[in-house]
Amino acid sequence: MASAFANVARICSPAPQRVQVPGRLSSVNLVSFGVSKRSFGAVRAPRLSICCKAKPETVTKVMGVVKKQLALDDSKPLTAESTFSDLGADSLDTVEIVMGLEEEFGITVEEEGSQNIATVQDAADLIESLLEKKTAA
């Protein structure tokens, strides 16, 4: 039995290659191995990093609330990466944006969560996680 484990350990590649993958995966380890003279190409073993990327619809709704609360016209570019401070929002404006988001999505944002919101994407990601918790409960 011990020799079978030794054979598996001997044929497995000891140093997997790191490959950067765009999107939600942070990296993928490629491992090549053979068993009983059969070789398998590359087995992908993803290393997942949890990053709640919000749905595009959520980001769009958040942008609508931000535009409304800050009275932005269409000439001001607004993207998911836009920061509230770059849009001219002060701390009171940010509180009003959070209140508008709570009303729009029917959620409650705790003070700790609202302190981590700096961009439209941050707000959308927080909303997605709160909505998931709400539906799971």
Q: What local confidence, expressed as pLDDT, does residue 102 receive?
A: 96
Phi, psi angle pair for 136, to nearest 5°:
-75, -25
Which pTM was predicted?
Answer: 0.61
Q: CA 44, CA 29: separation in Å to the nearest integer?
A: 6
How far does Cα 61 stand from its chain's mean position? Answer: 17
Question: Are 65 and 104 contacting, i.e. CB atoms less than 8 angstroms apart?
Answer: yes
Q: Which helix (H) or strand (E) holds 34?
A: strand 25-35
Active-site position among 86, 90, 122, 125: 90
Half-sphere exposure of 74 (CA within 13 A, CB side): 0
DSSP 8-state symbol, 12? S
> Where in the chain are all domains bearing CATH 1.10.1200.10?
56-136
Q: Taking residues 117-137, what's their average pLDDT? A: 92
12-56 residue pLDDT tens:
444 444 544 444 444 445 444 454 555 545 545 444 334 558 899
- How distant, in Å, are the alpha carbons of 18, 48, 124 from that of 26? 10, 6, 21
Round the average pLDDT of the chain to a whole number and report it: 76
Instruction: Pick one of 3.40.50.300, 1.10.645.10, 1.10.1200.10, 3.40.50.720 as the CATH number of 56-136.
Output: 1.10.1200.10
Q: What local confidence, expressed as pLDDT, does residue 2 receive?
A: 52
**Both structure tokens of 7:** 């054979």
Q: Is 90 marked active-site?
A: yes
77-92 residue pLDDT tens:
899 999 999 999 999 9
Question: Are 111 and 117 contacting, i.e. CB atoms less than 8 angstroms apart?
Answer: no
Q: What local confidence, expressed as pLDDT, does residue 60 receive?
A: 95
Q: What local confidence, expressed as pLDDT, does residue 37 receive?
A: 53
Q: Looking only at Cα atoms, what is the longest distance across the chain?
A: 72
